[in-house]
Structures are given as C-alpha cells and as structure tokens.
Chain A
Amino acid sequence: MQNREERQTYKDYLQVLKECSPYDFCEYSDNSIDRRIQKIMQDYRLNLDELIYKTRTDEEFVELVVEAITVNTTELFRDPPVWKHLYEKVYWALKSRPKINIWHAGCSSGQEVYSNLILLDIMGLADKCEIYATDISKKSLEVANSGSYKYNFNFQKYLNNFQDAFPNLPKEKFLGYFDIDESKDRMSVKPSLLGKAKFIKHDLVKQPLPFYNKFDLIFCRNVLIYFNSGLQSRIIQKFHDTLFPGGAMVLGTHESINGFFKTKFAKNGPVYERTNTFHFKY
C-alpha cells in the first residue's frame, strides 16, 4: 500500500485542501482517505506537489477531488432486512401521524431515497411525508434528482433486494415504479415519485443544518464509517438534537454508536431510537 512517511504527506494535503476550499476532510478516517488520494494521483497522473499546486490554483479541480474522495456506492433496498423492519415496524407505528419528516443524510445518487419513497407509496404514506436528502457531492445529487440509473448493471440486484425485503409483494409492484428502456440501458423512476424529495447540497461535517425542522426518521447509512471516532460522535449528536424524542436513526448494517451517545439511543432491530432521557451539561 504505502509507507508511513507517505501517510503523513496525505495529512498535509488535507490541510491544503482545508485552507483553500470550503471542504474539510481532516477528520475522515485515515485508511480510506489515503487510498482515495492515491487514486486521484494515479488517475490524473500527478505527484503530490503537482496535486497541491493544482488544488491551490484550480477551483474546478477541487470539486473533482471532492467527487473522487467521497464514496458514492449505493443500491435500491440495500440490506433487505432493514427495509422489512421499516415496513413491518417503524412505519406502522408512524401511520397515524399527520405528518412524517424524513432526512436522508449523505444520500449519494438517491437510491435509498427512492427505495424509501416506493415503500411509503406502497403504504399510502407518501403524501404526508416531508423528505429532505442531502449530500456533499454535486454530481451525485444531479443523478439523484434525475432518478435515472443504469439498467443492466443494477436491475437484477435491485429486484432481488426488493423481493428479499417484501416477499409478500409481487414483483410487478416494483416494476410499476420504473420506466425501463433497455436500448438506452436506463431504468428511471416514474415521474410521480420525482420531485417528492428535496435534494440539497450540504456538507454534514462543516455546514449548519439547511433546515429548521425536526425529524421522525434520519437515514445515514455507510457514511459514518468514513469518519474518525471524534467526528462520528459530533455527527451523532447533531442527529440526536434534530430528532423528535422517539424518532429513529437508520445507520448502515455494520455501523454502531460508541461513547456517550450510546446511552441516548435504544437499538431496536436495525434502527436506533432516540430515548427521552435527560442529559446534563457538566
């Protein structure tokens, strides 16, 4: 992989990026960020000095770096048991509410948002939901807004996920939410679902929240794994403070809460529910 001196220089590079752009990756976990920076240097054939020079002088290049550093992999209905739980437990409990506020933090290209919209639509809840979806990557948000994905590469995986999550629903239900154009290799979310979620460019690490609402449900899946523990805790605190008591947080299947905030959430299946305990400032 690389030697220890190189690792130090990557840290220096993050400092440069912090100084001359609005982004701060200093508290991302070392392991992944090193590999991403290495990949950028390979892809653009730059050595570290050239990379630093280009970052200082070329604003458009900085955006490309941000795209390359952030991980954008996602699927429709990733981890079927999670969606099954949302369907059978979480949304049933929210059914009688007049309004449901949902935030997808780090929504990438939007597959999770549309998975959720499809589920809500199936349950007849879509109209009373207010859905915000945020991400740091402009390019991902453009894809998310279009709701159009590659067909061949994705379709079977997405359909399998759906069927694993909802074995009682016919697969036509799933197909009904997409316009499929095999000749163009596209599967596009039906216009009726487009525009129901508001996609907003937002840096979870540095910017204040772009809304005043509190939320019933926050999705933030496989985002925190790229942060170090200190940053993780700060983001969890943000989520905690912006959730209604009893509201829930959906993390990635192999993410967990450590440290102080562990006591502020109760784990119920794959979701973390905000408990309503007091906490004191010392």
Chain B
Amino acid sequence: MYNQDQTYKVIVMGGSAGSFSVVSHILAGINPEFKIPIVLCLHRLKHVRSGLVEGLSLKSVIPVVEPNDKAKLRPNTVYLAPSNYHLFLELDGSIALSTEESFNHSRPSIDYTLSSAAYAFRDRVLGILLTGANKDGARGIKEIADNKGFTIVQDPKSCDIDTMPRSALQLFQPDLVLDPQQILEFLNALPQ
C-alpha cells in the first residue's frame, strides 16, 4: 500500500509504442526541482537509434542524459537507456550497461531494467509501465511489486497500444492504474 512517508530512491519507467508522447508530457509538466532520479527504458525503432534524448530534452524541464556504464544516479536527472544496450541498476546506486542478446526481442529490455531496480532498491522503487505493443516489462514490474516497491500501470484505456499494460495487469494487481495526466500529478505530489 502507498505509504505517505515513504521516499523513493529511484523511479523506473518503461514503455514502447506510443510512450514517447506520454513521457514528453510527464517530463514537461514535472516539478523542475523534482529530486528523485528517473530511469527510462523505452523501446525504439531499430533503424532510428539516435535523437531520442534530443527529442525528450526539447520539452523536459529536468536534464535528460544517456548514461555511460558505471555512472552514479544523481538527483534531478532523467536517465534514458541508450539504444542497443540493456540498462541495469546496481546495489551501489550505479548504472550498468550490457550488450547481451536481446530479451523479449528488445534491447534495451524493460524487464531487465525493472527487475534489476527491484533487486537493488527493494521497497524504495517506484515502477511505472506505460503504453506499448509488446509484453516486455510485465514481468519486471511484477517483480517490483513482489519486492514491495510501488507500482503504477498506465490505464489501458488511455494507451495508444495497450498490449504492454494489459499483459502486466494479467500478471498482478498494481497499486494504481492511472492515465498520463494522473501519473504526472501523482509524481508531483510525492514527498521529495
């Protein structure tokens, strides 16, 4: 259950088809002083490998970076999984990248990022799964819930393509099911 006093160490967000506009909306409206690091794992088209950081940076009010391997999470920063790499969170709060085989036909794989966050941060993770056309991410966000982290799944009714949130909802019951505007309001109301 949601605990008013809980502060989260990291927010991990996964999404695929249609998620760019949702993430843009959230990053444009978020409190510019928002402290908790946000890690994004978004699928992208294989032949369009660059440009996503630039695209998100246009609207975002907090800096968006593609981290290097072993970079430490810092407050007030958005970390975007680089194309063609898996992104993991480590126990010491650093980021690890890997070029291992694709998982769920995806690199980066959202399952990998979310479950590493669940393992490294336990109940101090807030996981959010957005719209997408693939089931990657469903198992990962369930692992966050299993480790007592807080979970939000985008309301399938508000999704461009709802395969991703639906496959998550088949696996478990998240703490909240919200549309993008509600997700934004929820984040801005979090204790920092």
Contacts and interface: CB of A to CB of B under 8 A. Distances in A.
Interface of A: 1-2, 29-32, 35, 71, 73-74, 78-79, 81, 157, 160, 222, 224-226, 229, 232, 252-256, 258
Interface stretch (B20-28, B63-71, B177-185): B63-71
B116 interface: yes
B69 A254 contact: yes
Contacts of B101: 71, 73
A27 B141 CA distance: 30
A1 B112 CA distance: 9
Given A2-B119, A31-B88, A71 B100 contact: yes
Contacts of B50: 81
Contact of B98 (A1, A71, A79, A229): A71
A31 B116 contact: yes
B82 A254 contact: yes
B90 A222 contact: no
A71 B84 CA distance: 14
A241 to B, nearest CB: 22
> B interface, how many residues as a size bin?
20 to 34
Contacts of A256: 68-70
Contacts of B143: 1
Interface string B111-136: 00001101100000000000000000
B13 interface: no
Contacts of A32: 88, 96, 98, 100
B138 to A, nearest CB: 15
Given A31-B116, A229-B70, A160 B47 contact: yes
Interface in B50-97: 50, 66-70, 82, 84-85, 88, 90-91, 96-97
A32 B124 CA distance: 22
17 contacts: A2-B119, A30-B91, A31-B116, A32-B88, A35-B100, A73-B99, A74-B99, A79-B84, A160-B47, A224-B69, A225-B97, A225-B98, A225-B99, A226-B98, A252-B99, A254-B68, A255-B68
A254 B90 contact: no
A251 to B, nearest CB: 9
Contacts of A222: 99
Given A253-B82, A254-B85, A255-B69, A73 B116 contact: no
Given A30-B90, A74-B99, A256-B70, 20 more contacts: A1-B119, A2-B119, A29-B90, A29-B96, A31-B90, A31-B116, A32-B88, A32-B96, A32-B98, A73-B99, A73-B100, A78-B84, A81-B50, A157-B46, A225-B96, A252-B69, A252-B99, A254-B68, A254-B85, A255-B69
B113 to A, nearest CB: 11
A2 B96 CA distance: 17
Contacts of B85: 254
Contacts of A255: 68-69
B116 A254 contact: no
Contacts of A79: 84
- Determine the main DSSP class of B at the interface with A: loop
A96 to B, nearest CB: 33
A252 B67 CA distance: 12
A229 B96 CA distance: 11
B98 A254 contact: no
A253 B88 CA distance: 17
A213 B47 CA distance: 39
B151 to A, nearest CB: 16
Nearest to A221: B99
B143 to A, nearest CB: 7
Contacts of B84: 78-79
B69 A1 contact: no
Nearest to B69: A225
A8 to B, nearest CB: 12
A84 B85 CA distance: 21
Contacts of A71: 98-101
Given A73-B101, A254-B82, A31 B96 contact: yes
Contact of A1 (B46, B47, B82, B118): B118
Interface in B5-22: none
